[in-house]
Amino acid sequence: MRRWLAVVGLAGLAATAATVWLGLWVTPPDATLGDTVRLLYLHPAIAFVALYVAGGLAAGSSILYLWPRTRSPFWDRLAASSVELAALFCALTLVTGSLWGRPTWGVWWTWDARLTSTALLLVLLVGYLALRRVPADPEVRARRCAVAALVAAVDVPIVHFSVVWWQTLHQGGTILNPELQAHVHGSMAWTLLLGFVAILLDFVWLVTVRYRLEVLRDQAGGTELEISLAERHAEGTPAGAPSAPTAPGALAVASSGLDAKPAATRAGPAPVPAVAPVPAVAAAGGAGGPQTERSGAGPGHAPDRDR
Amino acid sequence: MRYIDAGYAVALGSLALYAAALGWRLRRLRRAGGERRTARAEVDREHTETGVAGR
């Protein structure tokens, strides 16, 4: 996996460097656009990745997360990683487009349908990222974010068809438009194609690393809880006593309010904690199994702790 | 040409900065994970020494 990632990273780096070299120094200026055509070796590629690759990945992952049969943290993490990159690429699309628009159209920005719908997409993606930072139970957060990603994905076809549905300053499809029969020749065509490959490879590398980060972050959160539970557990359990649930079990109880209920019921009505609750345990969902059971054990519990 | 140079600089500079930030965050999390593992091992060792069952 690591070797694969290194190969993709190096290939992306080499392809990007080659695109820059070809785009800035080798290719000739366009007959109509002049030197500004050089920005088009990057801008459409970045927009393509932002809209269709990152946007599609985020929407697909979110659907797979919401579908009960395929629900897994993997899809949630992948969606989060894709949306963050979609937001970055979307912002870069707007900036590079603006830098191309100033010398070509004479304005930095215009309320054109393509530009406005792309800006709206960026706002929606940033909204997703903000929603992800709202503290909540991981499952609830994942569900909310999946819905938010699908709402943002609705804007993708609007961006795509904006140049067809409305009269816009932004040009419509050019190379793949059969009516235009446009041909890009020689080094310009290869540079354009290489730009797409380079940005795509960069995206694959970035999204994989970003996914790893999400996994590590989740593990770090889980480990903190595990340590808190272990310490809390060790406070009052004498050596040789019946062993308490292992950490993964404790985690499962702590992370699910439903699982914690039977333990609380077994322990008897209205258990009174003998010691002050540890914030990490209380915050994790609850009066988790081990703590509640010990509390329910009655007055015999406190001396155990002193021992 | 300055618009073109600016476009390339912003696009590729942002990607490079983002990649660097990802690497930094990844390294920080890995280091924190190592420290947590050490802390947990210490807690386990203390429990063994004092005769209090750990996990």
CB contact under 8 A, A239 and B19: no
Please name the member of B4, B19, B47 whose beta carbon is closest to the beta carbon of A206. Answer: B19
Interface test with A, best of B2, B3, B27, B31 (most A CBs within 10 A): B3
- Please state, in angstroms and rounded to a whole number, the distance separating the CA atoms of residues A142 and A137: 9
Interface test with A, best of B2, B4, B37 (most A CBs within 10 A): B4
The CA distance from B49 to the nearest CA of chain A, in Å, is 11
The full set of domain ranges for chain A reads 7-27+34-227
**Which residues in chain A are contacts of B49 at CB distance < 8 A?**
none
Which residues contact residue A300 at a Cβ distance below 8 angstroms, ignoring those fewer than 6 apart? none
Give the per-residue pLDDT at B32: 84
Band of pLDDT at residue B44, cut at 50, 70 and 90: confident
- Please state, in angstroms and rounded to a whole number, the distance separating the CA atoms of residues A206 and B22: 8
CB contact under 8 A, A209 and B52: no
Closest-CA residue of B relative to A99 is B3
Residue A172's alpha-carbon distances to A27, A101, A163, A184, in angstroms, are: 24, 15, 5, 16
**Which residues in chain A are contacts of B21 at CB distance < 8 A?**
none
CB contact under 8 A, A217 and B29: yes
CB contact under 8 A, A243 and B53: yes
Residue A264's alpha-carbon distances to A8, A54, A287, in angstroms, are: 51, 45, 8
Work out the end-to-end distance of chain A between its first and last CA atoms, rounded to an integer number of angstroms: 50
Q: Running DSSP on this structure, what letter comes out for residue A69?
A: G
CA-wise closest residue to A231 among B54, B35, B39: B54
* Residues composing chain A: 307
CB contact under 8 A, B11 and A88: no
Backbone angles phi, psi at A34, to 5 degrees: 70, -140
Task: Write down the architecture of domain A7-27+34-227 according to CATH.
Answer: Up-down Bundle (1.20)
- Please state, in angstroms and rounded to a whole number, the distance separating the CA atoms of residues A54 and A79: 9
> Which regions in chain A score pLDDT beneath 70?
222-228, 230, 235-307
- Cβ distance B12 to A20 under 8 Å? yes
- Residue burial A32-56, b: 16+ Cβ < 10 Å; e: rest: eeeebbbbbbbbbbbbbbbbebbbe
One-letter amino acid for residue A113 of the chain: A
Give the per-residue pLDDT at A272: 43
Closest-CA residue of B relative to A221 is B33
Residue A166, both tokens: 């409305």
Give the per-residue pLDDT at A303: 37
CB contact under 8 A, B52 and A95: no
Question: Beta partners for A263?
Answer: none
Can you give A21-59 as a three-state secondary structure string? Answer: HHHHHHCCCECCCEHHHHHHHCHHHHHHHHHHHHHHHHH
Dihedral angle, C-alpha A3, A85, A223, A142, nearest 10 °? -130
Closest-CA residue of B relative to A290 is B55
- Cβ distance A88 to A101 under 8 Å? no
- Residue burial A217-238, b: 16+ Cβ < 10 Å; e: rest: eeeeebbebbbbbbbbbbebbe
A126-173 pLDDT per residue, tens: 999 999 999 989 899 999 999 999 999 999 999 999 999 998 888 887
Question: Does the predicted interface ipTM exceed a cut of 0.90?
Answer: no
**Which residues in chain A are contacts of B29 at CB distance < 8 A?**
213, 216-217, 220
Read off the pTM: 0.73
Give the per-residue pLDDT at A280: 41
Q: Does B36 touch chain A (CB under 8 A)?
A: yes
CB contact under 8 A, A241 and B53: yes
